[in-house]
Structure 1
Amino acid sequence: MTKAGRLLLTALAILCCALLPAHAGVTDAPGENLEISLITYGPGEIYWERFGHDAIELRDTTSGEEVDFNYGVFNFDEKNFFFNFARGQMHYLIDAEPTTDEENFYVQAGRSVTKQKLALTPQQAAALRDFLFWNLRPENATYNYDYYIDNCTTRVRDALDHALGGVIKARLTKLPGGMTYRQQTVRLMSAQPWLMLILDLGLGPYADQPLNAWQESFLPEELQKNIRNVTIANGNEGTQPLVQSETLLSPNRLAAPPATPPDLRIPLGIAGLLFATLIVVTWLRARPIYIALASLFLLFAGIAGLLMLTLWTLTAHHSAWANANLLLFNPLAFLPMCSIWQARRNIAPSRPANGALLLQLIALLLALLMHLLPGVVQQNQPWILFALPCWLALAWTLRQTKRF
Structure 2
Amino acid sequence: MNKLLKSLFFICLLALTKFGALAQDSSHLRISLLTCAPGDELYATFGHSAYRIVDSSKSFNDNFRDVVYNYGTFNFDDDGFYLKFVQGKLLYYVSAEGFQDFRDTYQSTNRGITEQVLDLTAAEKITIQNFLNNNLREENRYYKYDFFFDNCTTRLRDILKKNHDSSFTIKPVMPLGTTFRQAIYQYLDKNDKQWSKLGIDILLGQPCDKVMTAEQMQFLPDNLMTSLDSASHPLILSHQNLYTINTTSDSKSFFSPLVVFSLLLVIIALISLSKNKFAQRFTQGFDGLLFFLTGLLGIILIFMWFGTDHSMTKNNFNLLWAWPTHILVAFFVNSKKDWVKKYFAVTSVAMVMVLLAWFFLKQHLNVSLIPFVLLLIYRSATKVFFENN
TM-score range, shorter-chain basis?
0.7 to 0.9
For 1:89 and 1:364, the matched residues in 2 are separated by: 38
Residue 323 of structure 1, CA deviation: 0.7
Residue 367 of structure 1, CA deviation: 6.3
- Of residues 213-222 and 354-363 in structure 1, the stretch that sits farther from structure 2 once superposed is 354-363
| TM value normalised by structure 1 | 0.78
1:280 counterpart = 2:269:
yes
Task: Give 1:223's aligned residue.
Answer: 224
For 2:57 and 2:74, the matched residues in 1 are separated by: 33
Amino acid across the alignment from 2:284: I
Amino acid across the alignment from 1:362: A
For 1:111 and 1:187, the matched residues in 2 are separated by: 18
SS in 2 for 1:389: helix
Mapping 1:3-402, distance limit 5 Å:
32-63=27-58, 65-172=65-172, 176=175, 179-189=178-188, 190-232=191-233, 241-253=234-246, 255=248, 268=257, 271-285=260-274, 286-342=279-335, 348=336, 350-359=338-347, 361-362=349-350, 364-366=352-354, 368-369=356-357, 371-372=359-360, 377-382=362-367, 385-401=370-386
For 2:382 and 2:239, the matched residues in 1 are separated by: 63
Residue 305 of structure 1, CA deviation: 0.7
**Alignment RMSD:** 3.0
Residue 151 of structure 1, CA deviation: 0.8
Q: Percent of aligned pairs with the same residue?
A: 27
Residue 165 of structure 1, CA deviation: 4.2
- Of residues 306-315 and 106-115 in structure 1, the stretch that sits farther from structure 2 once superposed is 106-115
CA contact (8 A) 2:69 2:132 kept: yes
Amino acid across the alignment from 1:202: L
Residue 351 of structure 1, CA deviation: 0.8
Residue 196 of structure 1, CA deviation: 3.3
CA contact (8 A) 1:328 1:363 kept: yes
Amino acid across the alignment from 2:343: G
Residue 297 of structure 1, CA deviation: 2.0
Structure 1: tracts of 5 or more residues without a match:
1-28, 233-240, 343-347
CA contact (8 A) 2:341 2:383 kept: no
CA contact (8 A) 1:268 1:386 kept: no
How many residues end up aligned between the 2 structures? 354
CA contact (8 A) 2:169 2:227 kept: no
Task: Give 1:6's aligned residue.
Answer: none
Amino acid across the alignment from 1:63: K
Residue 364 of structure 1, CA deviation: 4.9
Listed one character per residue, the Cα deviations across residues 129-167 of structure 1 (whole Å, up to 9, x for unaligned) are 121122121111000001111111111111111111433
Listed one character per residue, the Cα deviations across residues 224-263 of structure 1 (whole Å, up to 9, x for unaligned) are 122211132xxxxxxxx212211111123365899xxx9x
Structure 2: tracts of 5 or more residues without a match:
1-23, 60-64
CA contact (8 A) 1:37 1:57 kept: yes
Residue 379 of structure 1, CA deviation: 0.6
Amino acid across the alignment from 1:81: F
CA contact (8 A) 2:37 2:113 kept: yes
For 1:288 and 1:129, the matched residues in 2 are separated by: 68
CA contact (8 A) 1:119 1:242 kept: yes
CA contact (8 A) 1:55 1:156 kept: yes
CA contact (8 A) 2:318 2:365 kept: yes
SS in 1 for 2:364: coil
SS in 2 for 1:250: coil
Judged with a 3 Å threshold, the aligned counterparts in structure 2 of structure 1 residues 109 and 277 are, in CA distance, closer, same or farther, namely closer
